[in-house]
Amino acid sequence: MIDPEDREQQADVTRRLLYFLNAPVAEYCRLRGVLPAPGAVRIAIRAGDDENARGFLYEIPNDIVTPYNVPGLLRTVLSGPQLYSSSDVNEVMGMTLIRLRPEDITPDPEPEQGRALTVVQALSGPGNDENPFLIGFLMHGDGLLRLYVQRTDRPGIIGADIRLTETPATALIASISSLVEEEQYRQLAPDDDPHCDLLVDLTNW
């Protein structure tokens, strides 16, 4: 039986890694699965080209790494040679199991696409499918993301510009449905964007 906090973290890591089913985690490295383990999450990776591919399981302890940092940790480990103690290497399900020590690894920064994905996933569900809040998005400018949102209590589409920071904008994401209603952030709809009726600038929030 997995501890409830571990189960919650396991589910969060699983959601965050779904993107990598369609994109490599690192060059020649594809996600094969996310497996539960006591106090840890195990990430299954297929590394190498088709003829010489090998399976690896990277075990990451739950109490040291947040789900948000797991992709960056994997990118660091998969992008260059690493040294492991023999006590940290085993064999499980035909894959080489490697227990990572995150305190000794500096995670690669999350690329812009990954930061945008975090925001879009947080705002797109779970929610009311009949009255969705987020109905579109556009990455534009230098680290900017425009969210196209619609409130059920008013007509029109609101474009909300936010800045993609290195750490998740958790407070902003949680508050965005009320922030788009505040007059101080409102601007006229941009002439070059016919997809919204009103623009809200939250880049300095």
Q: What is the pLDDT of residues 66-79, one digit of tens each?
A: 888 899 999 999 98
CB 144 within 8 A of CB 163: yes
Share above pLDDT 70 across residues of the chain, in percent, rounded to a whole number: 94
d(CA 196, CA 147): 10
Alpha-carbon separation of residue 60 from 13, 18, 93, 103 (angstroms)? 11, 17, 17, 11
d(CA 152, CA 154): 6
At CA 18, angle to CA 14 and CA 21, rounded to 5?
A: 130
CB 73 within 8 A of CB 101: no
Mean pLDDT score, 122-137: 75
pTM: 0.73
